[in-house]
Amino acid sequence: MNLETAANILAKIGNPTRLKIVRLLVRAGDDGLPVGMIQKKLGIPGSTLTHHVTHLKTAGVIRQERQQATLLCKIEFDLLRGLVDYLTEECCADVQNRDNAA
Per-residue pLDDT tens digits for 69-97: 999 999 999 999 999 999 999 999 888 76
Nearest CA to 63 out of 79, 40, 41 is that of 79
Taking all residues of the chain, what is their mean pLDDT, rounded to a whole number? 94
Q: What domains can you pick out in the chain, each with its CATH number? A: 3-101 (1.10.10.10)
State the pLDDT at residue 87: 96
pLDDT tens for 52-74 read 999 999 999 999 999 999 999 99
Please report, rounded to a whole number, the percentage of residues in the chain having pLDDT higher than 90.
Answer: 90
* pTM check: above 0.85: yes
